[in-house]
Amino acid sequence: MVKRVLVLGSTGSVGRQTLEVMEQLGGTHQVVGLSAWSSAELLFEQARQFGPEAVALGTAPVDTSGLPQGCELLTGAEGVVELVARTRPDVVLCAITGAAGLRSTLAAAETGADVALANKESMVLAGHLVRAACARSGSTLLPVDSEHSAIAQCLHGEDPAGVRRVILTASGGPFRGRTRDELAHVTIEEALKHPSWDMGPRITIDSATLMNKALEVIEAVHLFDVCAEQVHVVMHRQSVIHSMVEYCDGAILAQLSPPDMRLPIRWALGYPARVKAPGPPIDLLALSGLTFEEPDRDTFPCLALGEHAARQGGLSGTIMNAANEIAVSAFLNGQIPFLAIGELVGDALNEFEAGADPDLDTILATDSDVRRHTTNKLTEFSHPAGSPHS
């Protein structure tokens, strides 16, 4: 049987790599739908190449002449949700960036299709709602985040009661080993240079602040039903061990591979089967010299904020993520210095109540309240006059 694949966020970094994997999969998988927020030209080009039944575009396009004949076009945020129902997929690859991906992830989780989740914010904001939707529909959650894919692979066939710790590895990003003083004046270009992974701009900045790891701690708590105290972060600069699970008997299982998002994508699209990767076998000697270090939570306070938010639960993940999305955009626009990102996130977590077990409306309302609050705070944290920035 040919697997029907819907790719949400197909013009982003993970979306484009998913289509690369789809090309290699040949006759076993078929693209039935694609979505993008505003990159109409690339979306239509992908539609001409893969021939989906329908595509969705968040913003209305000016010119639809590039769309292939017979391919239906849905528009607006509702169009993305409608696309999920319309295309009857067997697997939905959720690769929209940020909180904007939540509604479509929930829609996918309601269908009973496999949910290949690259949108970690869905779990950070509403992990309990996504899991409940999957339980109702029979959908299987398949993480596409490399760390969580590794953990899922290490948990496969094991009794969850035997898990002692989930160990998330962190490359440390471009500023690993720096001091806070050294980070005060880093530029956007420096922050966008990740040493081992090639990713989109938002997640690359999140790697530089360690906010990405903070979000991943919360993501792990919800994906694997473990408590925050069981999730540990270790710095592993080579990005070869993608994460580990330690069991109560003292065994640690790890998943190793060169850093390449196409592996977790391939794993999720093939699940439960393994699909063959192109290229030669891995050269273990080229991967030798693996190191582990304690993270520096004083220099990178976002990690400690995330661990705190994971223990607190409720709306903490929503608050942290909303403040971070605003702060990262402001940093990328040259409005605030690098260190202000963590300060704005800390400010929002102090300002808003975490509560417990929020429903979707409360989550979405809090998300916009925090965005407004943090946007208003930007001027307080902006560059002092005459300071260097780019």
Question: Edge to edge, what strands does the sheet with 91-94 contain?
Answer: 72-75, 54-57, 29-36, 3-8, 91-94, 114-117, 141-143
Question: Residue 243 CB, nearest distance to Mg ion (Å)?
Answer: 9
If the CB atoms of residues 12 and 58 are measured against Mg ion, the closer one turns out to be 12
Cβ proximity of 339 and 327 under 8 Å: no
Question: Residue 210 CB, nearest distance to Mg ion (Å)?
Answer: 12
Question: Residue 174 CB, nearest distance to Mg ion (Å)?
Answer: 15
Question: Residue 229 CB, nearest distance to Mg ion (Å)?
Answer: 21
If the CB atoms of residues 88 and 193 are measured against Mg ion, the closer one turns out to be 193
Locate all alpha helices (DSSP H) within the chain, ordered by sequence: 13-25, 40-50, 76-86, 102-109, 120-137, 146-155, 180-183, 188-191, 201-209, 211-224, 262-270, 301-312, 316-332, 340-351, 360-377
If the CB atoms of residues 47 and 231 are measured against Mg ion, the closer one turns out to be 231
Binding-site string for Mg ion from residue 327 to residue 356, where x marks contact by CB under 5 A and - marks none: ------------------------------
Provide the residue type at 239 as one letter. S
Q: Does 114 bind Mg ion (CB under 5 A)?
A: no
If the CB atoms of residues 121 and 147 are measured against Mg ion, the closer one turns out to be 147
If the CB atoms of residues 53 and 145 are measured against Mg ion, the closer one turns out to be 145
Q: Which of 114, 121, 145, 367 binds Mg ion (CB under 5 A)?
A: 145
Strand partners, 235: 170, 293
Choose the stretch contacting Mg ion; rule: CB under 5 A; options: 140-148, 237-245, 249-257, 341-349.
140-148
Cβ proximity of 224 and 130 under 8 Å: no
Q: Does 219 bind Mg ion (CB under 5 A)?
A: no
Task: Give the pair of three-digit tokens for residue 262.
Answer: 């196409």
Question: Residue 218 CB, nearest distance to Mg ion (Å)?
Answer: 13
If the CB atoms of residues 239 and 374 are measured against Mg ion, the closer one turns out to be 239
Chain position whose Cβ is nearest to Mg ion: 145
Number of residues that bind Mg ion (CB under 5 A): 3
Strand partners, 73: 55
Choose the stretch contacting Mg ion; rule: CB under 5 A; options: 46-54, 93-101, 144-152, 158-166.
144-152
Q: What angle do the packed helices 211-224 and 316-332 form, to 10 degrees?
A: 150
If the CB atoms of residues 95 and 336 are measured against Mg ion, the closer one turns out to be 95
Choose the stretch contacting Mg ion; rule: CB under 5 A; options: 62-70, 104-112, 137-145, 317-325.
137-145
Question: Residue 328 CB, nearest distance to Mg ion (Å)?
Answer: 16
Question: Residue 173 CB, nearest distance to Mg ion (Å)?
Answer: 11
Rounded to whole angstroms, how far apart are CA atoms 111 and 383? 47
Choose the stretch contacting Mg ion; rule: CB under 5 A; options: 46-54, 139-147, 164-172, 381-389.
139-147
Q: Does 147 bind Mg ion (CB under 5 A)?
A: yes
Task: Give the pair of three-digit tokens for residue 352.
Answer: 């808003």
Phi, psi (degrees; rounded to nearest 5) at 337: -75, 165
Question: Residue 141 CB, nearest distance to Mg ion (Å)?
Answer: 16
Question: Residue 276 CB, nearest distance to Mg ion (Å)?
Answer: 24
186 Cβ partners below 8 Å, 6+ apart?
175, 338
Choose the stretch contacting Mg ion; rule: CB under 5 A; options: 30-38, 123-131, 145-153, 297-305.
145-153
Coil/strand/helix, residue 141: strand
Choose the stretch contacting Mg ion; rule: CB under 5 A; options: 20-28, 68-76, 143-151, 240-248.
143-151
If the CB atoms of residues 46 and 207 are measured against Mg ion, the closer one turns out to be 207
If the CB atoms of residues 134 and 223 are measured against Mg ion, the closer one turns out to be 223
Phi, psi (degrees; rounded to nearest 5) at 116: -90, 105
**Strand 163-170 to strand 241-247: parallel, antiparallel, or no bridges (unpaired)?**
antiparallel
Question: Residue 192 CB, nearest distance to Mg ion (Å)?
Answer: 17
Cβ proximity of 364 and 312 under 8 Å: no
Coil/strand/helix, residue 288: coil
If the CB atoms of residues 239 and 318 are measured against Mg ion, the closer one turns out to be 239
Rounded to whole angstroms, how far apart are CA atoms 125 and 172? 24
> Is the preceding omega at residue 61 within 30 degrees of 0, hence cis?
no
| Interface with Mg ion (CB under 5 A) | 145-147
